[in-house]
Amino acid sequence: MRIYFCGSIRGGRQDVVIYQRIVQKLQTYGEVLTEHVSHSDISEKGEDAALDGDRAIHDRDIEWLMSADVIVAEVTQPSFGVGYELGRAVAVGKKILCLFRPSSGRVLSAMIRGAETRSRNSLFQVQEYSEDEVERVLEDFFSALSPQDLTRSDVVITGSPCENMVALQMYSTTLLLTLLTGCF
């Protein structure tokens, strides 16, 4: 299984220790394409690999995102990048788990919480957790996955290609802005 992990980099690195725990657990389920997000040597300025520029990072990460079977996002720390990644993942029908720690004192964006559907086989799930239960939350999520969860797409294209692109851009931008600004 190919897993894309989302966590804040330029939006703040306060949660890097929890990212490390999450990535370590995710590695028991498959290949974590974005393991570098958990590296403590990456600062808020981003990767050292940025010598190739932001476009190279964007293109590489979008390629990984599109090839992933599952997206796991830690959304406690607001981040433009995480919002953008989630918007793109929703647009192509990826299975997504968003993790949020209420103990942070933050309130989760309504755009993230509101995107969740409560059914067990929902493509977009939000799970509140405390640091001591993160491994169990991941175990529960991955044990409930079925092969159909990893291959289906609930994206319905109903308008013209131009209308669909505008709608997807608006959705991605809204998620991005709400995660970065913390506006609800």
- Consult the annotation and say whether 89 binds a ligand: no
- Consult the annotation and say whether 19 binds a ligand: yes
Instruction: Give CA angle at 181 (172, 51), nearest 5°.
Output: 70
- Consult the annotation and say whether 84 binds a ligand: no
> Exposed, middle or buried, 27 (CB in 10 Å: 0-12/13-18/19+)?
middle
Contact by Cβ (8 Å): 97, 38: no
- Consult the annotation and say whether 131 binds a ligand: no
- Consult the annotation and say whether 183 binds a ligand: no
- Consult the annotation and say whether 4 binds a ligand: yes
- Consult the annotation and say whether 9 binds a ligand: yes
- Consult the annotation and say whether 6 binds a ligand: yes
How many C-beta atoms lie closer than 10 Å to residue 72's C-beta? 26
- Consult the annotation and say whether 129 binds a ligand: no
- Consult the annotation and say whether 80 binds a ligand: no
Binding residues: 4-10, 19, 85, 109-111
Q: Which residues are annotated as a binding site for substrate?
A: 4-10, 19, 85, 109-111
